[in-house]
Structure formats: structure tokens, C-alpha cells
């Protein structure tokens, strides 16, 4: 059975600054999607939140880039903005709804989209990752490790179905173009690109032996769309697991290392990505540190069975503790690079206007 999974997210305002989504926002989104389920527009849904971002997880049979589904998501975000964010004067109400003229496709409109049409397997475990206070390039390191690093994924060595490797589709977000690279043979080429996380972003991953889609990520860059700083793009992605794909444990394993990602305070700092349960998916210290939650589902004829809150586990305590140590260390740098991002990234933040004011005071040395 062919099913489309659409994970669509937006920051449309939050409680206590950029801290957390308000429960009423989740309620209104649920009501709207429940109506859509009753009319069979969607098969099933789950509404989640990480930090100040609201995620609509939907299954349907309309395929990717369906204007009906994108319109449903857009209208849901609008309704939540009007009925809750604005009414309660939540902070930055409607922030990510950048366009005033929505045309039926969310590309370039602000919300982040990870979606794919898949043939549901006999059993279909899927892990949905949602991050706050970071950007799509944050998935590069874990996606590399899941599908290309045998020190992470034992199956690459010992399972015939994984052994032939994976194809990565990498997007150049500056030029809006993509390139396909095959691992293991082109691993070094792949790493040459995706190490530059602010520009080259993994969009999707396919199993080489049969081109089966294994992972999809959101790649929206708000600042590039709006031409100004609008907050980071707090990405989502989903990964299919097991039976000839990495096991759920192999999919989660890279997050046992809280790698440095761009984002955190004012979208301008490098900080450790802390894996957390949904109950701790709220940013506090220095508006962070950046956080990631993981929800596990089983698809059942398009219905979402679950979720399992996968980082709600003491096995990730050490990663959280290390993330706190790294946060201490990074914070002691104050406004200095590399704790603060470099000039290319800062161009899209409010620093640009501060620097502009000083421009006239420079004279030849």
C-alpha cells in the first residue's frame, strides 16, 4: 500500500519567549487535523512540539507536494496563530508564516517539510526526529553515521541488504541544486560537502540495491527565503528502520554523541545537540542548548501506531550530561568565535546592522 508521510513544522509563537509551545496550540491543531481525518483528506495524524516548534505528522494518499495537504498544514498553522498565539499574545505569533500569498505549496513559505511517498512494508518502523534551536545541517553528521559509518551501524558490515551502501541526495541551499553521492565508494566526496553544514544539507537517503527511500529531511532556510534573520530552521526528519535498513538502535546511536550544531542563542552560536524526551524538549539555558526528540511509530495501513518517546531513556543520560559540560565550555567563550558563528552565518543575523553602524568610522590604517 502506498502511503505518504508528511511531517510539517512551524514556529508560530510560543510561551515564555522562544521556550515552549502552549498546550492550547496543540489542541487547536489537533481539532483541525481531526476534522481533516473525518473527511478522509488524511488517514491519520499526530501533533507534537519541541521547544517553540509545532509539528504536524500526517499520513495520507495524496503524494508529496499535494496542494490539499500543504493547504491543510498552512491553514492549521494560521488557525492556531489566530485562535491561540495572537489571542494569548504568545511570543512571535505566526513567526514562520512568511508569505501573505499562499499558493498551495509550502516550499519557500516558511514551514519546514519532510515528506515522502512510500510502499508500506510488511512491518514499517519509522523514527521521526524533531530539533529546536538549530538548522537542517544538524542532521548531516547523524545521517552520515547511520547510513555510511560501520563503526555506528553494524548492519553495514554484517547484513547483506545494507552492505551495498546508500545514496545520499545533498542539497546546496545557496544555489538551490542537488547532487547524488553513493557510499561507501564516494564517502570522502560526500564528507567534503556535508562537513559544510550551513550550505550542503542532506535531503534524502536511498538504499542502493533497490533505491528504497530510507530517510528524508527538511531543508528550508528561513533567512535565505526572507533575506533577513527569522530564527533558525529547527529541522525535522524521518528515518525508516529495520529489516534491511539500519535498526532503530543504529538510527539512534549517533545521538549518544551530542555533536556541535549551529543555532542556540539568537541562531548565532555553536552548541551541543542534546537528545531529550518530549517532556524535556524545551529550551532554557541561553535559549537552549539545542535539543532533539525522537518519536518511534509503526505504520499500520497508513495509521500511526505509537509514538514511543525514544530518548526518554537513561541510556542517553551520559549524552545529556556531556552536552551540559560542552555547554559550560562553549559559554565561557562569550561572544568569541568559534562559540559564536563565523561571519558568513552572522550575515543573516541582527549583527549585520550593528556592524553597519560602525562602517563610517573606519579610516585607512
Q: Which residues are catalytic?
A: 11, 229, 232
Closest listed residue to residue 81, CA positions, set 111, 57, 60, 61? 111
Q: Which stretch binds Mg ion (CB under 5 A): 45-53, 80-88, 171-179, 334-342?
A: 45-53
Instruction: Judge contact between 264 and 258, C-beta under 8 A.
Output: no
Span near ligand F6R by CB under 6 A; candidates 216-224, 260-268, 297-305, 325-333: 260-268
C-alpha 77/C-alpha 80 separation (Å) is: 5
Of positions 44, 96, 124, 132, contacts Mg ion by CB under 5 A: 132
Q: How many CB atoms lie within 10 A of CB 242?
A: 17
Is residue 52 near Mg ion by the rule CB under 5 A?
yes
Distances (CA, A) of 353 to 4, 262, 346: 43, 21, 11
Distance, CA of 286 to CA of 332 (rounded, Å) = 12
Peptide bond into 338 cis (omega under 30): yes
Listed in sequence order, the residues at least 6 apart from 269 whose beta carbon sits closer than 8 Å to its beta carbon are 262, 263, 286, 288, 330, 339, 340, 341
Q: Which three cell numbers stand for residue 199?
A: 550550505
Q: Which does 135 bind (CB under 5 to 8 A by kind): Mg ion, ligand F6R, none?
A: none
**Are 135 and 348 in contact, with CB atoms under 8 Å apart?**
no
Selected binder of ligand F6R within 9, 18, 32, 282 (CB under 6 A): 18
Rounded Cα gap, residues 108 and 221, in angstroms: 8
Under rule CB under 6 A, which residues in 199-238 are in contact with ligand F6R? 231-232
Q: Which does 53 bind (CB under 5 to 8 A by kind): Mg ion, ligand F6R, none?
A: Mg ion
For 19, phi then psi, to 5°, come to -80, -60
Q: Which is nearer to Mg ion, 214 or 236 (CB)?
A: 236
Number of residues that bind ligand F6R (CB under 6 A): 10
- From the list 276, 287, 304, 326, which residue makes contact with ligand F6R (rule: CB under 6 A)? 287
> Does residue 345 belong to the site contacting ligand F6R (CB under 6 A)?
no
Residue 221 touching Mg ion (CB under 5 A): no
H-state helical runs in 159-203:
160-163, 187-194
- Our CB check for ligand F6R shows the closer of 22 and 133 to be 133
Which of residues 6, 8, 11, 293 is near Mg ion by CB under 5 A? 11
Residues 6+ apart with CB under 8 A from 141: 197, 254, 259
Verify binding: residue 145, ligand F6R, rule CB under 6 A: no
20 DSSP assignment: B
By beta-carbon proximity to ligand F6R, the closer residue of 287 and 345 is 287
Name which of Mg ion, ligand F6R, none residue 17 binds, using a CB cut-off of 5 to 8 Å depending on partner kind: ligand F6R
The item of Mg ion, ligand F6R, none sharing an interface with residue 32, based on CB under 5 to 8 Å by kind, is none
Which residue number places its CB atom closest to ligand F6R? 287
Does 17 help bind ligand F6R (rule: CB under 6 A)? Answer: yes
Q: Which of 18, 70, 269, 320 binds Mg ion (CB under 5 A)?
A: 18
Residue closer to ligand F6R (CB basis): 92 or 212? 92
Q: How many CB atoms lie within 10 A of CB 176?
A: 11
Helix H segments across 227-347? 248-252, 317-331, 343-346
Classify 212 as helix, strand or coil. coil
Nearest distance, CB of residue 106 and ligand F6R, angstroms:
20
Distance in angstroms (rounded) separating the CA atoms of residues 271 and 56: 26
Write out the binding residues for Mg ion, residues 92-131 only, by CB under 5 A: 92
- Of 22, 32, 70, 133, the one binding ligand F6R by CB under 6 A: 133
Contacting range for ligand F6R; rule: CB under 6 A; set: 136-144, 181-189, 190-198, 261-269:
261-269
User: Which residues make up the interface to Mg ion (CB under 5 A)?
Assistant: 11, 18, 51-53, 92, 132, 234
**Binding residues vs ligand F6R (CB under 6 A):** 17-18, 92, 133, 231-232, 265-267, 287
Amino acid at each position: 500500500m502506498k502511503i505518504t508521510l508528511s511531517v510539517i513544522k512551524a514556529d508560530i509563537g510560543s510561551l515564555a519567549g522562544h521556550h515552549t509551545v502552549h498546550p492550547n496550540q496543540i489542541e487547536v491543531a489537533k481539532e483541525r487535523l481531526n476534522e481533516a481525518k473525518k473527511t478522509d483528506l488524511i488517514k491519520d495524524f499526530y501533533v507534537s512540539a519541541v521547544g517553540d516548534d509545532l509539528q504536524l505528522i500526517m499520513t495520507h494518499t495524496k503524494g508529496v507536494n499535494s496542494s490539499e495537504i500543504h493547504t491543510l498544514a498552512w491553514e492549521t498553522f494560521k488557525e492556531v496563530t489566530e485562535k491561540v498565539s495572537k489571542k494569548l499574545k504568545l511570543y512571535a505569533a505566526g513567526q514562520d508564516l512568511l508569505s501573505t500569498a499562499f499558493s498551495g505549496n509550502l516550499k519557500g513559505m516558511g514551514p519546514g517539510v519532510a515528506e515522502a511517498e512510500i510502499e508500506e512494508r510488511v512491518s514499517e518502523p519509522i523514527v521521526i526526529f524533531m530539533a529546536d534551536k538549530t538548522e537542517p545541517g544538524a542532521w548531516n553528521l547523524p545521517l552520515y553515521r547511520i547510513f555510511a559509518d560501520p563503526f555506528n551501524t553494524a548492519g553495514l558490515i554484517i547484513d547483506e541488504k545494507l552492505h551495498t551502501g546508500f545514496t545520499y541526495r545533498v542539497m546546496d541551499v545557496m544555489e538551490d541544486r542537488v547532487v547524488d553521492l553513493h557510499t561507501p565508494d564516494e564517502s570522502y566526496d560526500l564528507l567534503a560537502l556535508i562537513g559544510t553544514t550551513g550550505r550542503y544539507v542532506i535531503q534524502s537517503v536511498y538504499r542502493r540495491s533497490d533505491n528504497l527511500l530510507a530517510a528524508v529531511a527538511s531543508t528550508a532556510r528561513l533567512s535565505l527565503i526572507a533575506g533577513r534573520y527569522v530564527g533558525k530552521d529547527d529541522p525535522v526528519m524521518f528515518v525508516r528502520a529495520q529489516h534491511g535498513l539500519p535498526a532503530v538502535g543504529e538510527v539512534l546511536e549517533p545521538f549518544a554523541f551530542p555533536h556541535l550544531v549551529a543555532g542556540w542563542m539568537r541562531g548565532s552560536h555553536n552548541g551541543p545537540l542534546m537528545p531529550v524526551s518530549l517532556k524535556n524538549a524545551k529550551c532554557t539555558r541561553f535559549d537552549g542548548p539545542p535539543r532533539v526528540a525522537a518519536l518511534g511509530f509503526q505504520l499500520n495501513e497508513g495509521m500511526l501506531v505509537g509514538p514511543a518517546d525514544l530518548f526518554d531513556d537513561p541510556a542517553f543520560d551520559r549524552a545529556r550530561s556531556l552536552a551540559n559540560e560542552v555547554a559550560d565550555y562553549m559559554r565561557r567563550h562569550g561572544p568569541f568565535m568559534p562559540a559564536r558563528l563565523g561571519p558568513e552565518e552572522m550575515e543573516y543575523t541582527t549583527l549585520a546592522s550593528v556592524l553597519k553602524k560602525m562602517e563610517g568610522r573606519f579610516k585607512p590604517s
